[in-house]
Amino acid sequence: MIILETNWNLLLPILLLAVIVLFLIFRIYKMRHVLTSGGGPETSVNTIVLTDQTFEKTIGKGVSLVDFWAPWCAPCRMQGPIVNELADEINGKANICKMDVDQNKKMAAKFGIRSIPTIMVFKNGEMVKQFVGVKPKATLLKEIEKHL
């Protein structure tokens, strides 16, 4: 009887520790999955996905709104659907674009992007307005219409 009590006294903390370790491994796996899933931007048909190579040509003429974002950024994931709705509403009057700063470091460095989401409005290649953080569609639409 004393042997069984001694074994349980040793076994119980080991089992508890094993359960905690398994739980932490599971949580790390889930968090990594959440942060790395959806590597590409969820875009509408009217949203343009920019790269370092296509940036200058796309924003060179007319009015363009560029959403600088990253897949791991929670506020960026909140801003993304707003930008997509805006692209559908504008429907060609202006370029509504997204640029992943992790995959396009050249332009992010050129414009000094330190916080994301950063949204910039360009007119004929020149930046006319910059927003940092999540902004409502009405604010972005007002700024675009001001420069059309």
Strands 95-100 and 47-49: parallel
The catalytically annotated residue of 50, 70, 73, 113 is 73
Cα-Cα end-to-end distance for the chain: 86
Note if 97 is an active site residue: no
Q: Which residues contact 27 (CB under 8 A, 6 or more apart)?
A: none
State the catalytic residue, choosing from 63, 76, 101, 119: 76
Is residue 73 among the annotated active site residues? yes
| The two structure tokens encoding residue 97 | 């674009």
Are the CB atoms for 121 and 64 separated by under 8 Å?
yes
Which are the catalytic amino acids? 73, 76
